[in-house]
A = this chain, B = another copy of it.
Amino acid sequence: MRFGVLGSGVVGRAITARVAALGHGVMIGTRDPDELMSRAGPDPRGRESFAEWRERNPEPDLGTFEEAAAAAEIVVNATAGDGSLDALAAAGADNLGGKILIDVSNPLDLSQGMPPSLLVPSTDSLAEQIQRAVPQALVVKTLNTVTAAVMVDPGSVGGGDHDVFVSGDDQTSKDTVIELLRSFGWTRINDLGGLASARTVEMYVPLWVALRGVLNTPMFNVRIVRAEG
């Protein structure tokens, strides 16, 4: 499969590297590739620059949002939640129609301190906003409930014995995404139903943020524990 990953941050880099390592073709899309490559040194949060990352990861193609989407069979929205709709507009509805659009983003508002609030009301979700903005795309929400390193390597936490969720209106697309998740190492995959169920995993994330503070690490997830019988 050929992937287009929209977003050059920690999440986009992790997914791009993982699908490339699995043998898929992939282009990472960003607003302005030249500007991105020209940024020197670590970013304000102390993370390596994209150019440094790219030295270690030369295989993926680099292009604009539009180029990454146009060349892809499966598109991943790995942009920040407050920029996702703009990024998808730049990618172009024509380049997304009929394609699986995996949305791993979160509509978090971190501007008001902790805990974060959400940029959407509880009667909506960013995934549904994206679906309305690109009606011909096959939007599947997943992976937004864990940190980037766990998204692509669930075995890095507790041997992978924890849960991930999938929401989407098109079952065939969800089945394809579930196969991709299995190839990442996920074994406990919960299909929550239609895309409206994406509201529930987006609303979970403020608790994840609070727990990251309590646990002092992002390397965790939750495992569903059931009564026997």
Inter-subunit contact B219/A226 (CB<8 Å): yes
Contacts of A214 in B (CB 8 A): 190-193
Q: Known contacts being A201-B207, A214-B191, is A225 close to B158, with CB within 8 Å?
A: yes
Inter-subunit contact A112/B117 (CB<8 Å): no
The secondary-structure label for the interface of chain A is mixed
8 chain-A/chain-B pairs, Cβ below 8 angstroms:
A115-B199, A117-B121, A122-B203, A157-B226, A197-B210, A200-B206, A203-B204, A222-B222
Q: Is A118 an interface residue (CB 8 A)?
A: yes
Min CB–CB distance A171 → chain B (angstroms): 15
Q: Is A20 an interface residue (CB 8 A)?
A: no
Q: Is A1 an interface residue (CB 8 A)?
A: no
| Cα–Cα distance between A115 and B125 once the two chains are bound (Å) | 11
Contact partner, A115, options B200, B209, B227, Cβ 8 Å: B200
Chain A: residues with CB nearer than 8 A to chain B? 109, 112, 114-115, 117-118, 121-123, 156-158, 161-163, 165, 190-193, 196-197, 199-201, 203-204, 206-207, 209-211, 213-215, 217, 219-228
| Cα–Cα distance between A126 and B170 once the two chains are bound (Å) | 35
Inter-subunit contact A225/B222 (CB<8 Å): yes
Contacts of A190 in B (CB 8 A): 211, 214
With A190-B214, A201-B207 already in contact, 10 other A-B pairs whose C-beta atoms are closer than 8 Å? A122-B122, A157-B225, A191-B214, A193-B213, A203-B203, A204-B204, A211-B224, A217-B226, A221-B225, A222-B224
